[in-house]
Structure 1
Amino acid sequence: MSFIADKQTLDDLSLLGKYNPYSVFSLFNQVKTRGGQKLLDQMFQHPLTDADQINSRSAAFRYFSDHRASFPFEEEALGNMEAYLDEGCAGNFPMALWQMSRKKFTALAVKDDSLSLQLQSIDACIGVLKTCTTLLHQLEKEGRDKNSPWQKWADSARQITRDKRLEHLHTSNRTFTQNARLHYLLAQVFQEQLKTLLAHTYEMEVYITVANVGREKGFCYATALPKEKNLLIAHGVRHPGLDKAVANSLSFSGNSNVLFLTGANMAGKSTLMKASGILLYLAHMGFPVAATEMQFSVLDGIYSSVNVPDDLDKGYSHFYAEVLRVKKVAEEVDAGKSLFVIFDELFKGTNVKDAYDATLAVTAAFTAFRECFFIISTHIFEVGDALKAEGDHIQFQFLPTVMEGTVPRYTYLLQKGITQDRQGMIIIENEGILDML
């Protein structure tokens, strides 16, 4: 089953976006090759839902975090090799020799460069395999070619580079016939094996690169647990895009599955909620996460409602768009899915009375879905007092504001309870808006 995260959630959390410098994807996208970028994108598009697979991938990243490695391959050479293998070759050596002879004739007759380009591609392929030979020797010498994430790559490289049929790889002045035979061997006989080697090579690049990012950022690796454990415990949680972010702890279980979050504007509620969603998403990818410690039960997906837009084409107001969002989540949790749900200021598009009633009713109803975890923020702190009668399934926490005269200071540290902080008018007055009017 695929991990659920719809476009609204992906946009709310700024998870994807190669050309968005502030996306989580861009944070990790320091790979150099197109193949590596394609694999990284696939990992972001398809988080895992099996605890063993998550932990296996996480262990690979952790290995390269503990055992630093450099990626010795040239981007251009790998790209040329991939294009060359995709083009392929004729089905047998005589046909390959005839086709290359025809290219040689056209090169002499009409100065066609197809033969020259083909020879360049062969040289690029040979260059990659020579780098493989050097790297493989180093891994074998250090004993890292077995029982490590390098093993699949090493086995694949060993099978190809030590095949006697490719002995002309190391010949500096190859004859025309030798080039034709190499072309046949590389683009036909070993084509699929070389494609597999390329795939493993791109995988190594992603492992090395992502591990480097995680180490530089001080991220940790989460432990995935089976779904039936039904818990989430994370310490030192922060937003991965903020270098000096204040860290907080989160804890959910079947007996405490709703976090009711209050706090003034600018106190950090939205940032904390986004950080929590990103944390869960990256954890399901097996990636390093912005925390100091984390263990979590595998979930079916994440839904968020942070920046819900109206829809002029469909005639939806902001409030109605919010209602539809809540309805979508209600349908999913009612269908038995285990979800992490973020609602930032429920029903802010309507009047205070309706918002109070709706927030109270929806939050109370969500407590019944014990296999889902919810973070619900609101400025209507009075809802919290009414929710206390619902039992112990709701955690009440807030992000405080410390007033220094007329200037608010925000600690960004979670505290237990419900806050009545409201500094909206103070901020407006501090900006001198009323004096202007």
Structure 2
Amino acid sequence: MKFKIDNQTFKDLDIFDTAQNGQSVFALFNFTQCLGGKERLRSFLSSPVTDLTELTERKAAIAYFQKYLPIGLEVDKNSLDFTEFYLKNGSYPTRIVSKAIAIERKIMDKISPNSEYYLIEKGVSSTVNLLKSIHQFSLELSAKFQRSESYPTLLQKNNEKVLEIFSQPEYEEIINLKKIKAYDTSRLDYLFRYKDRHHIRFFLSLIYEYDAFRSVAKAAGEYKLSYPEILPETENRLNIEGLFHPFVENAIPNDIHFDGSSNLLFVSGPNMAGKSTFLKALGICVYLAHVGFPVPASRMTLSVLSGLCTTINIADNLKSGYSHFYAEVMRIKDVTAELSSNKNMLVIFDELFRGTNVKDAYDGTLAIVSAFSRIKSSFFVVSTHIVEVAKELDDNTKIKFCYFEVDQPDGVPTYTYKLKEGVSDVRLGMYIINKERLIEQINSITDDK
């Protein structure tokens, strides 16, 4: 089953769109060395999955690259570029010409060079170089597997297929080829672009995949990411230790724990205390786990979810005539529709009903949070600055209450960005207004003309 995610969530979490500081999750992981690897990385990030086996195999392969293959599969980039060009262009041969004709073509090219023969000659030599690099890497990989008690299933399956292909006579000959003669060019062109084109495409795909794996592994080391433990969806678990936002320098880590006794986390705290950053970090962490990537946390255990919906940076829709409040209502309606068919989701709302008056925001938050808490198969995280709602929800055993701590020595707030159990009673609106001397500035304005 496909993992459910929508454009609003992609935007909220800056998966591909550039964030305000010029970063995106894709850019964070992009240490790829070739265009095909970059596109494969994008494909992984575009397509989260719910298949536990696929997630486990990809995660293990990336972790293996980080530990044992930090350099990855090294290929000559010029050879790779030309091979890709060669496979896409020119007339594909449907038969092998005789040695005499092959030699004649070589001679004619010397007398009068033509682009078609250059494409074939250069393309064949480039492809041979790539094949030799792949073969050598596969032998090294086999040697590592023999010295290790455990190795990733995905890499093992790939390597078995690679070595099986290279055991065929045509490929054994290619590996031992010292010099490419005129007839070699003709018959290998037939092999690469016609008879065995599917194998050459497989080898290119492998280069792209291993480039993406090496890129993600490098990011894991660079940003101190960890590999999550992924469980079957029936476990209904989401526990994270040391969660941090990967875009925030020297980020303060926090923990979050769900279990069978509660399914909704109610987060309070004043503005700028860290609520939105925490919610984005949580969303990114869960999303990356469903791509099979390492996550921004020291430890994570989660059961496979069917989808992720966030509402963090929702805007009004002038084209549709929606106010901000109405856009919020429609967003909740859309999420509810998803929950009816995807009962195993993580849903995140930041500051419910910020687009309406305090009374409606209070009543709406109370009603929506109470309703969400009854959906036991999904997880919900809701932040708000309307802390009075918490008093009405206090006896709901399905809700956990947390807040972002703010110290106020001498009346001056200090943001710790640490999540604590309980409900915040800190109000900083007037402090900020007074700090910026807004009232004085307004009062200084005169009506003199």
Both proteins in one fold, TM over 0.5: yes
Find the residue that maps to 1:412 and give its secondary structure: strand
The 1-side partners of 2:440 and 2:18 are apart by 44
The 2-side partners of 1:63 and 1:265 are apart by 42
The 1-side partners of 2:3 and 2:142 are apart by 38
How far did 1:375 drift?
0.7
Could you tell me which residue of structure 1 aligns to residue 447 of structure 2? none
How far did 1:39 drift?
1.3
How far did 1:126 drift?
1.4
Counterparts in 2 of 1:89 and 1:156: CA distance versus 1, 3 Å: farther
What amino acid does structure 2 have at the position aligned with 1:64?
F
The 2-side partners of 1:321 and 1:100 are apart by 72
Which of 372, 381, 390 pairs up with 1:384? 390
Could you tell me which residue of structure 2 aligns to residue 134 of structure 1? 136
Q: How does 1:315-326 map to 2 (within 5 A)?
A: 315-326=321-332
Q: How does 1:276-295 map to 2 (within 5 A)?
A: 276-295=282-301
Could you tell me which residue of structure 2 aligns to residue 427 of structure 1? 432
Which of 91, 102, 110 pairs up with 2:94? 91
How far did 1:233 drift?
1.0
How far did 1:173 drift?
4.7
What amino acid does structure 2 have at the position aligned with 1:79?
D
Q: In 1, are the aligned partners of 2:245 and 2:278 still within 8 Å (CA)?
A: yes
How far did 1:107 drift?
8.4
Could you tell me which residue of structure 1 aligns to residue 445 of structure 2? none
Which of 77, 84, 94 pairs up with 1:75? 77
Could you tell me which residue of structure 2 aligns to residue 395 of structure 1? 400
Find the residue that maps to 2:120 and give its secondary structure: helix
1:26-61 CA distances to partner (integer Å, 9 max, x unpaired)? 100111112211111111111110222222221222
Could you tell me which residue of structure 2 aligns to residue 15 of structure 1? 15
1:179 aligns with 2:175: no
The 2-side partners of 1:102 and 1:17 are apart by 51
What amino acid does structure 1 have at the position aligned with 2:67?
D
How far did 1:416 drift?
1.1
How far did 1:406 drift?
4.4
Could you tell me which residue of structure 2 aligns to residue 308 of structure 1? 314
Could you tell me which residue of structure 2 aligns to residue 331 of structure 1? 337
Matched residue count: 435
Could you tell me which residue of structure 2 aligns to residue 120 of structure 1? 122
Counterparts in 2 of 1:174 and 1:293: CA distance versus 1, 3 Å: closer
Could you tell me which residue of structure 2 aligns to residue 6 of structure 1? 6
1:372 aligns with 2:373: no
Could you tell me which residue of structure 2 aligns to residue 28 of structure 1? 29
Counterparts in 2 of 1:140 and 1:306: CA distance versus 1, 3 Å: closer
The 2-side partners of 1:29 and 1:100 are apart by 46
How far did 1:336 drift?
5.0
1:263-289 CA distances to partner (integer Å, 9 max, x unpaired)? 011000000000111111011111101
What amino acid does structure 1 have at the position aligned with 2:196?
F
Counterparts in 2 of 1:257 and 1:99: CA distance versus 1, 3 Å: farther
Find the residue that maps to 1:267 and give its secondary structure: coil
Counterparts in 2 of 1:64 and 1:174: CA distance versus 1, 3 Å: closer
Find the residue that maps to 1:323 and give its secondary structure: helix
Root-mean-square deviation (CA), in Å?
Answer: 2.6
Could you tell me which residue of structure 2 aligns to residue 218 of structure 1? 224
The 1-side partners of 2:313 and 2:229 are apart by 30
Counterparts in 2 of 1:144 and 1:188: CA distance versus 1, 3 Å: farther
The 2-side partners of 1:50 and 1:35 are apart by 24
1:38 aligns with 2:44: no
The 2-side partners of 1:343 and 1:97 are apart by 74
1:410 aligns with 2:415: yes
Could you tell me which residue of structure 2 aligns to residue 270 of structure 1? 276
The 1-side partners of 2:227 and 2:53 are apart by 14
2-11 or 53-62, which deviates more: 53-62
The 2-side partners of 1:362 and 1:8 are apart by 20
Counterparts in 2 of 1:176 and 1:405: CA distance versus 1, 3 Å: same
The 1-side partners of 2:232 and 2:261 are apart by 17
What 5-or-longer segments of structure 2 have no aligned partner?
443-449
Could you tell me which residue of structure 1 aligns to residue 49 of structure 2? 48
What amino acid does structure 1 have at the position aligned with 2:47?
H
Counterparts in 2 of 1:260 and 1:143: CA distance versus 1, 3 Å: closer
Q: In 2, are the aligned partners of 1:153 and 1:201 still within 8 Å (CA)?
A: no
How far did 1:66 drift?
2.4
84-93 or 206-215, which deviates more: 84-93
Q: In 1, are the aligned partners of 2:267 and 2:383 still within 8 Å (CA)?
A: yes
Q: In 2, are the aligned partners of 1:90 and 1:96 still within 8 Å (CA)?
A: no
Q: How does 1:342-381 map to 2 (within 5 A)?
A: 342-381=348-387
How far did 1:243 drift?
3.4
How far did 1:139 drift?
3.0
What amino acid does structure 1 have at the position aligned with 2:231?
L
